[in-house]
Chains A and B, each alone.
Chain A
C-alpha cells in the first residue's frame, strides 16, 4: 500500500519512472494497478460469464475516449454494436454520439460456423485489415477485443488461429495501442483457450462468487509484468455510474486526528462525553438490545449535523427512508427538511442486497460522491446473516479507516441480543475498532422497563461513568440522571418516586429550619427583655446609692456649718479634732466636679 501510494504520487510527477501506463479511469482500479494498464501492450481480462469483463473493457475505452483523449476501437465477437450501445446507455454513455465524434469505432465480427468451409491454407489477414482500418479511421490508441475466443468456435483450424493470435498480439504491440482482450474463464487455466499464453503483460481476473446466496464481485491482478501491483482480491461493484473497485486495505493508521468536537445531538450525552461531544473524525458505536433507541440516537446525531449546516449520510438497513422520516418525526426530529435542503441523504436498502464487501464499495462510493461530514450506519449488525462471519470485522475496519481518512465522524449502531451476557461478547469484535462505545440497555424492574445509556469507553476524553436514563419525548431524546440507591439503580417510576420523596424530605427540613430560626428569635427577645429589666434595676440602685451619698454629704456639711457658726460666736479656732474634714471635703469636691 505504501508503495502504491508512492507510485501514484510519482505518476502525477512530470517524469514518470517505470512502465508507462494507460489510466483506466475506473475508480480504484488505477490505484491497484498503480496507474492503469500497461501502455501500448495488451492486457487480458478473464472471468466467468457475467463477471463484468465486457463492462470493464467498455469503461476502459469510454474513459479513454472521454477523459484521456485516447480514441478507441471496440471489436466485439459476441455482442452486436446495438447491444453494446444499450449496455453503455445504462451507464449514461451515448455510444452512437461517440461513434459520430470519431472517438470510438465499433466493429462487430461475426462468424457462422456452418456457413464456412475450409480448403487449404489461409490466415486472418482480414481481421488485421479490419482492425487496422478501424484504428486508422479514428487514430485509436486503445483497442478492445471482446471476446476473441469466439473465434475458436468459429474457425475449425486452431493451429492456424493460435499462430494468428500470436501474430495479432505482436502486431498490436507494434502498433503501440493499449489493448484489452477479454477471455472466458477456463476449467484448469485462466482462460478456456489459454489466451494468457499470448498476453503475458497484464492479466486481470474477475470473479463472481456466491456465498450464502449473496454474490460478491471480486477483482484480482494475477500478473503485471514489470511493475508492482496490489495482489489482493478486491471487491468491486457495477453501479449506476459504472465499475467501482475498492482498493483500500490500508493497515497503516495514519489518519489525521482532529481536536474539534461535534455534538451528538443529545445534550446530556455531550455532557457525559467531557461536555463537548465526539471528536470530529472519530467513530462511535451505539449498541443495544431491540427498542433501546439506537436509531433515535443515530437520527439525533444526523439532525445535529444538519443543524450545523453539515452534510450527513444515513445508511438505513432496517427501515425505508419514508418510514424512518415518519418514525423520527414522532420524537420531534424533522429530518425531511434536511433532506429537502440536500443536507441529508438517506440510503435505505436491504442488507442482504449485496455481500458485505459490495456494501462497502457502495458506501465508499456514496461517501466519495456526497462528501458528508457525518455518516450513520444503522445498523452494522444486519450486514451479515451469518453471526460468525469473520469478514465483518475487516470490512468494518476498512470502512472506519476510510471514513477516518476522510475526516468523517461516524456513528454505527449495533443490535445485541437481549441477554446481557451476550452484549459484551458479540461486540468484542468490532468495539475495539471504535473510539467511543455507548451502550443502551433496558432495565426492567418495578413492573416497568426503562431505557438507560452509559458510555463504556471514549478515547481521549474524560467521560462520565454514570448510567443515565434515556428518555424519548416528542421533542427529541434526552438524558436524565438516574438515582443510585444502595446497590440499585433507580429509573423510571422508582426514580420519580425517589425524586418526590426527596422533595418532600427537603420541604420538611426547610420548615424545621424555619421553626428553629423562629425559636431562636423569640429566645433572643426574652433575653433582651431580661437585659432591659436588669439594666433598669441597676440604674435604680445607682439612684439609691447617689441619693444616700448626697444625703450623707449634706448631713456632714450641716454639721460642719454648725461647728463653724459656734466657733465664730465664741471666737475660738475650730477644733483640730475634726480630722476627717479634708477627706470628706475631697469627696465633696469629687462629687461637685462630677
Chain B
C-alpha cells in the first residue's frame, strides 16, 4: 500500500476536521484516529494517554487524527462510533477500536496490537 498517499489524505481530513495531527518522521506506519466529544476531562486524558503510549512504543511511526464529534457529528456514523472517547486503528488493517480514556497502557497496546518495546 502506498503509505504516503494515505498519509496525505489523512492530513487533508485532519485539516478539515480541525483535528490535531502528529506526523511521524517518514511514513505513518500507524494511523490512528481518536474520536472525542468536546474538550472534556475524559477526552483530554485519552489524548494525553494515547500520545504517551505512541511516543513510548511507536515513536516516529504514527499519525493521530482527533475528531471532535460535537463539531462533526456526521463522522460518528462512518466508523460506527457509540462510545467516546474511541480510538480507531485505521491502519494497519483490520480496523480496531479501543474505547475508554486509554488509561490502561497494557490494554491499549493489546488493543492496537503493538509489541511493547520494553
Contact = CB atoms under 8 A, between A and B. Distances in A.
Partners in one complex: yes
Given A109-B80, A122-B83, 11 more contacts: A107-B77, A115-B95, A115-B97, A116-B99, A117-B96, A117-B111, A124-B82, A126-B76, A127-B83, A129-B76, A130-B76
Contact of B85 (A107, A110, A122, A129): A122
Interface string A148-161: 00010011000000
Contacts of B74: 133
A130 B94 CA distance: 24
Contacts of A108: 77
A111 B80 contact: yes
B42 interface: yes
B108 interface: yes
A122 B98 CA distance: 10
B62 interface: no
A123 interface: yes
A323 interface: no
A126 B86 contact: yes
A129 B38 CA distance: 11
Interface string B43-72: 001100100000000000000000001100
Nearest to A116: B97
Contacts of B24: none
A119 interface: yes
Contacts of B22: none
B98 A123 contact: no
A111 B45 CA distance: 24
Interface hub of B80, B83, B108 (most chain A Cβ within 10 A): B83
Nearest to B100: A120
A42 B47 CA distance: 36
Given A110-B80, A117-B111, A122 B35 contact: no
Nearest to B101: A120
Contacts of B35: 126
Nearest to B42: A121
Q: Which of B76, B94, B104, B108 gathers most chain A CB within 10 Å? A: B76
Contacts of A388: none
B82 A119 contact: no
A561 B45 CA distance: 191
A118 interface: yes
Nearest to B104: A119
A502 B83 CA distance: 100
A132 interface: yes
B94 A115 contact: yes
A123 B84 contact: yes
Interface of B: 35, 37, 42, 45-46, 49, 69-70, 73-74, 76-77, 80-86, 94-104, 107-108, 110-111
Nearest to A127: B82
A109 B100 contact: no
Contacts, number: 96
A254 interface: no
Nearest to B103: A120
B97 A119 contact: no
Contacts of A132: 73
A119 B102 contact: yes
11 contacts: A111-B80, A116-B97, A118-B98, A118-B99, A119-B100, A122-B42, A125-B69, A126-B83, A132-B73, A133-B76, A155-B83
Interface string A81-122: 000000000000000000000000001111100011111111
A527 B56 CA distance: 157
Contacts of B82: 109, 111, 124, 126-127, 130, 151, 154-155
Interface of A: 107-111, 115-127, 129-130, 132-133, 151, 154-155
Contact of A133 (B42, B73, B80, B110): B73
A119 B42 contact: no
A109 B80 CA distance: 6
A115 B84 CA distance: 15
Nearest to B85: A122
A502 B111 CA distance: 108
A121 B101 contact: yes
B96 to A, nearest CB: 6
B10 to A, nearest CB: 20
B111 A119 contact: yes
A304 B34 CA distance: 77
Contacts of A110: 80
Contacts of B84: 122-126, 129
A117 B81 contact: no
B74 to A, nearest CB: 7
B95 to A, nearest CB: 6
Interface centre among B45, B74, B84, B96 (most CB of A within 10 A): B84
Contact of A119 (B69, B70, B73, B103): B103
A133 B78 CA distance: 13
B83 A119 contact: no
A117 to B, nearest CB: 3
B94 to A, nearest CB: 7
Contacts of A109: 80, 82
A535 B108 CA distance: 156
